[in-house]
Amino acid sequence: MISGSDRSPRLGDFVNAAWDRITDIGKIRAGSRRASRFGRFGPDSAICFPVAALFGERYIHIGAGSVIGPYSSLSAGVGPGDVPPRDPAVVIGSHTVIGKGSDIVGQMSVEIGDDVWTGPYVYITDANHGYEDVKVPPGKQFAPRRRVRIEDGAWLGTGVVVLPGATIGRHAVIGARAVVTGEIPAYSVAVGNPARVVRQYIEGEWRSLD
């Protein structure tokens, strides 16, 4: 007879093994029926299980060898059935890693390059709600859509927010919880809200800009 103290570790091992198996089976991989809904889903790429939300897969292109972490959302358009004005509306390059719990919302154009890495809970969007018409709730208004681009090799820390019109240059580093609203040049480090450049590689050396 197995005592309660012996049963709990064994049951825990079983539950953990079962969850590992479920999360592996539940990944969206190239060649699967779910991956076929995307405009492009490159070889060796995966969207980890569980997925928080997926809208407009037809307008989303993912390169080769990229991974989107669990509990993440990818959306092209305002919601299910919406047709973005550009195809693709969301592009994620090759060998890019998006941290768990992140949200990428492209209503016009969100471009994420190759070898981009992010921490968890990053939010990237090219559109935001408006407030100009005081008779309409802000949640029912939209400000003009503005292209977002994150160039190759950039690194975004935990909780970074990238807002409409932002550009993050090649190999730029964005500190945790920074809010990017404008242009961050290549080979620089930016922190804060709004994000400001504090270091940059200039003429062969890193220089502090504080």
Contacts of 204 (CB under 8 A, 6+ apart): none
Tokens of 193: 């809200």
Among candidate residues 61, 95, 129, 171, the one labeled active-site is: 129
Residue 171 among the catalytic residues: no
Give dist(CA 60, CA 85) in Å, integer: 13
Closest CA to 91 of 109, 75, 117, 115: 109
Closest CA to 97 of 126, 64, 50: 64
Give how far the C-alpha of residue 106 lies from the chain's centroid of Cα atoms, to the nearest Å.
10
Cis upstream peptide for 50 (omega within 30°): yes
Based on the number of CB atoms within 10 Å of its own CB, is 116 exposed (0-12), middle (13-18) or buried (19 or more)?
buried
DSSP 177: T
Mind telling me the catalytic residues? Answer: 129
